[in-house]
Amino acid sequence: MPRSYSRRDLIKSAPLGAATLAAGCASTGNAQPSEQPTETQRWQGGASPWPICLDSATIRPSTLTQKIRIATAAGYDAIEPWEGELHQYEQEGGNLQDLGKRVRDAGLFVPSVIGLWGAIPPTREQFDASLTDTRRRMRQAADLGAEFIQVVPQPARPWTEFDPKWAADRYRELLEIGINDYNIKPAMVFVEFLEGSKRMGQAAAIAIDADHAEGRIIPDVFHMLIGGTGFNGLKHLNGDFFAIFQFNDAPADMPVDQMRDEHRVYPGDGILPLTDILVDLKQTGFKRCVSLELYNPTYWEQDHLTVAKTGLEKTVAVIQQAGV
């Protein structure tokens, strides 16, 4: 996840109209089915045991409707948008339920939306105040048809001021609200710049201690590297514990302690042991989406369909190299 969550960084141009989106989907329809993955289903013409998803931040600043059309044309199975895009779409008069139907008609599905910013502040008063935006974001993600929405335990604070028990209790509340009121499942993220949830083990502890059957986390291979988690712990977890698996690579020409989200590169173009990671991921029994998540400004400046196609091709190539 990027360090800045400002909406101005998400979408800067007006969305295409519904007619344009429908025409684009009809002319470039993805042959992949739109339903959620099954136990035995393979994807990408049999090349992948997981559906491949496009995180919409990979092709900023295209509009949300353009991103859906691009994901369809490039051959993805799913798309993972950001909540700011959904909010802007709705604020400009769009209907998210109708848009969700167009997504499904295009052969895609929405596994997850990013995210619930500021969702676990340190006090009851702040948490209660945050629920206005949290509920809106849950409802918008549910209207689009998402199964999960990502919980970001902001605001950032020193680990000595982050109470894991408090976070687990509030995460349980978010699960109850999401599932009971909106039919959507919040899932915990871990990111390097949040001291209380920078490593996979910290996010896992929050999700486990929430003591809820639907508690889950969202691994990201880049933050597994820069946050200090490493990769050997993956094999010790059950794949159903992962809501979605964020995929990318880390550059070879930069010290790890200098890496930031904008330095992510295409899978296979960097130093991460991606084939080993995917072998372990398969052995966990994980069945949900592998999501290409890049925030590299050099890609944003390129043709977005080319970027999307290249990212998909490189992701599938690494999966094939892993032999899973």
pLDDT digits (tens, 9 = 90+) for 19-63: 333 333 333 333 334 445 555 789 999 999 999 999 999 999 999
Q: How far apart are CA 8 and CA 11, in angstroms?
A: 6
Question: Contact at 8 Å (CB) between 140 and 106?
Answer: no
pLDDT band, very low/low/confident/very high, at 216 (cuts 50, 70, 90): very high
Q: For 181, what's the count of Cα atoms within 13 Å in the CB-facing half-sphere?
A: 16
Question: Contact at 8 Å (CB) between 265 and 249?
Answer: yes
CATH number of 40-322: 3.20.20.150
Q: How far apart are CA 229 and CA 12, in angstroms?
A: 35
pLDDT above 90 (res 111) = yes
Structure tokens, 202: 């910290």
Q: How far apart are CA 127 and CA 125, in angstroms?
A: 5
pLDDT on residue 157:
84
Question: Contact at 8 Å (CB) between 103 and 144?
Answer: yes
| pTM value surpassing 0.75 | yes
Instruction: Return the amino acid letter for 78.
Output: A
pLDDT on residue 126:
96
| Burial annotation 266-305 (CB, 10 A radius, 16+ → b, else e) | bbebbebebbebbebbbebebbbbbbbbbbbeebbeeebb
Sheet holding 185-189, edge to edge: 112-116, 148-151, 185-189, 217-218
pLDDT above 80 (res 240) = yes
Q: How far apart are CA 97 and CA 78, in angstroms?
A: 16
Q: How far apart are CA 134 and CA 150, in angstroms?
A: 11
pLDDT on residue 38:
56
Please give the mean pLDDT across all residues of the chain.
89
pLDDT above 80 (res 16) = no
pLDDT digits (tens, 9 = 90+) for 270-316: 999 999 999 999 999 999 999 999 999 999 999 999 999 999 999 99
pLDDT band, very low/low/confident/very high, at 14 (cuts 50, 70, 90): very low
Report phi then psi at 148, rounded to 5. Answer: -125, 160
The pLDDT > 90 percentage for the chain reads 82
How many other C-beta atoms can be found within 10 angstroms of the C-beta atom of residue 309? Answer: 16
Question: Which of 307, 263, 323 has its CA nearest to residue 60?
Answer: 307
Show me where the domains of the chain are located. 40-322
Q: For 300, what's the count of Cα atoms within 13 Å in the CB-facing half-sphere?
A: 20
pLDDT on residue 250:
97
Q: How far apart are CA 264 and CA 57, in angstroms?
A: 12
pLDDT on residue 323:
96
Report phi then psi at 291, rounded to 5. Answer: -115, 120
pLDDT digits (tens, 9 = 90+) for 160-204: 889 999 999 999 999 999 999 999 999 999 998 888 899 999 999
The pLDDT > 70 percentage for the chain reads 88
The residue ranking higher by pLDDT, 103 or 26, is 103
